[in-house]
Amino acid sequence: MALIRVEIEQFEWEGNVLIHLPTGAAFAWQNGKTCTGAVTTEWGKAADVLASGDEFDPSEIDIVARHLMKEHEGVAI
């Protein structure tokens, strides 16, 4: 097992949902049209060892995702 560092490049926007591509963890605002409100999280495989043997720290995924979301907060989609 190798603990992999979470990088900004591992994330992609799908509409108003931010996805951590390696694990499928998804982050979305309660009010997606204006990118505001509480953030909901679907963890996907964030706490799992992936088939490749790689593993991510879910708390690091959360920190980077919320940083990226803060940059887009309040932007209408």
Q: Tens-of-pLDDT digits for all 77 residues of the chain?
A: 679 999 999 999 998 899 999 999 999 988 877 888 889 999 999 999 998 888 999 999 999 999 999 888 777 66
- The Cα-based distances of 16 to 9, 13, 67, 72, 74 in angstroms read 17, 7, 15, 9, 11
Domain limits, the chain? 2-72
Q: Label the pairing between strands 17-20 and 25-31.
A: antiparallel
- Predicted confidence at residue 63, as pLDDT, reads 96
Whole-prediction pTM value?
0.89
- Predicted confidence at residue 35, as pLDDT, reads 82
Task: Name which of 36, 43, 35, 73 is nearest 59 in CA terms.
Answer: 43
Tokens of residue 53, six digits:
């043997």
